[in-house]
Amino acid sequence: MFGQVLVMRLFRDRGMRTQICGNYFMVLKIAPALNISEDQLGEFVLAIGDIVGLMHSSASFWSEPLGIV
């Protein structure tokens, strides 16, 4: 569930396309353009940190994913 929520929020909140894969869906896969800049990579890392921080600090964050389940 964690991976799916991360993918959903990255796309919805930031317009970043990602995918979870691997055994037990423990891998976050990205496929950036070949000409991605360091600033864009930094923005991606910050976006993941922001969403994970929101997961830990907001009680209402999980209401939407739990409603989907």
Rounded CA separation 63/67 (Å):
6
Which pTM value belongs to this model?
Answer: 0.78
pLDDT of residue 26: 86
Mean pLDDT of the region 23-44: 91
| Phi, psi (rounded to 5 degrees) for 63 | -65, -40
Asked whether residue 66 carries a pLDDT value surpassing 80, the answer given is no
Domain boundaries along the sequence of the chain: 2-64
pLDDT of residue 67: 76
Name the pLDDT band for 49 (thresholds 50, 70, 90): very high
Rounded CA separation 41/22 (Å):
22
